[in-house]
Structure 1
Amino acid sequence: MKKLESMEQFEQLKNNGKHIFLFSADWCPDCRVIEPFMPEVVEKYSDYEFVFVDRDKFIDLCKELDIFGIPSFIGFEEGKELGRFVSKERKTKQEIEDFIQSLSA
């Protein structure tokens, strides 16, 4: 999974192609819970490029996008937001896959 390095990169990725941004942080226990199965999810939904966003490094972006809980996901295609799975709740693999499937529904 690619890591977001700059706001310029975010704008570039958001506006070109299909991306799912995963907002997370090293200190977040619920984010650690999804780590073991995320590679499977990334592989299964390879029509999207997944991008890890460090919440602490990009706090202004999180405020701008109303990301107040992590882990959270937002899908974009060619600059258009397809959907979001944003909450402070722990997420299961099934919930994440259901969210991704809903993006193309």
Structure 2
Amino acid sequence: MVTKANLLSYRLLIADIASHTKDDDSDQHVEFASGNVTLITTKESWEQKLEEARKDGKIVLANFSAVWCGPCKVIAPYYCEMSEKYTSIMFLLVDVDELTDFSTSWDIKATPTFFFLKDGQEIDKLVGANKPELEKKLVAIADSAPPQNKQQSLV
């Protein structure tokens, strides 16, 4: 039996869910590429960054993301924060809607998808906005990376 109290509780629950959905949705601007994150806009810029990483001996972490994706919005600030913490890793961002064919060539089935690359080859992958798992993988890779030279020798 539906009572007025139950109906009111149900309406309040719906209103609460709706308000949280609105707060978490696209009404708020999220910065996807700040800190040390490089936004990849062309296949050529992707190749340039991979070559730069090869020369510098850096691991690449590529985030295939979309601006409309809720989980992508949630993890974007964290990804940018991690880019400042783990400077021995090159952080890249690929918008799957801007580079559709390129993203398809990476067999992206869900966003966000993170690829860890060494010398342009995949060494690890994470699908989803799982902060603890992403940091676990970052720590493991950062710990295994050789120390970086702060400056190139001029000799």
Taking structure 2 as the reference length, the TM-score comes to 0.58
Letter in 1 for 2:138: I
CA drift of 1:23 comes to 0.8
The runs of at least 4 consecutive aligned structure 1 residues that moved more than 3 Å come to 101-105
1:11-62 CA distance string (max 9 Å, x none): 2222441321111111001111112322321122111111110010111122
CA contact (8 A) 1:24 1:55 kept: yes
Higher percent of residues as helix: 2
Q: Secondary structure at the match of 2:41?
A: coil
CA contact (8 A) 2:62 2:93 kept: yes
Give the Cα–Cα distance (whole angstroms) in 2 for the partners of residues 13 and 74 of structure 1: 14
Unaligned runs of 5+ in 1: none
Overall identity of the aligned pairs, in %: 30
CA drift of 1:5 comes to 1.7
- Picking from 68, 72, 75, the partner of 1:27 is 68
Q: Does 1:40 align with 2:81?
A: yes
Q: Secondary structure at the match of 2:91?
A: strand
Unaligned runs of 5+ in 2: 1-36, 54-58, 145-155
Alignment of 1:79-98 (within 5 A): 79-86=120-127, 89=128, 91-98=129-136
CA contact (8 A) 1:16 1:79 kept: no
Give the Cα–Cα distance (whole angstroms) in 2 for the partners of residues 75 and 16 of structure 1: 15
CA drift of 1:102 comes to 4.2
Greater relative contact order: 1 or 2 (C-alpha under 8 angstroms, separation 6 or more)?
1
CA contact (8 A) 2:41 2:99 kept: no
CA drift of 1:92 comes to 3.0
CA contact (8 A) 1:73 1:84 kept: yes
Question: In structure 2, what is the equivalent of residue 59 of structure 1?
Answer: 100
Q: Does 1:4 align with 2:40?
A: yes
Taking structure 1 as the reference length, the TM-score comes to 0.82
Higher percent of residues as strand: 1
Which of these two proteins has the greater Rg computed from alpha carbons?
A: 2
Count of paired positions = 102
Give the Cα–Cα distance (whole angstroms) in 2 for the partners of residues 36 and 64 of structure 1: 26
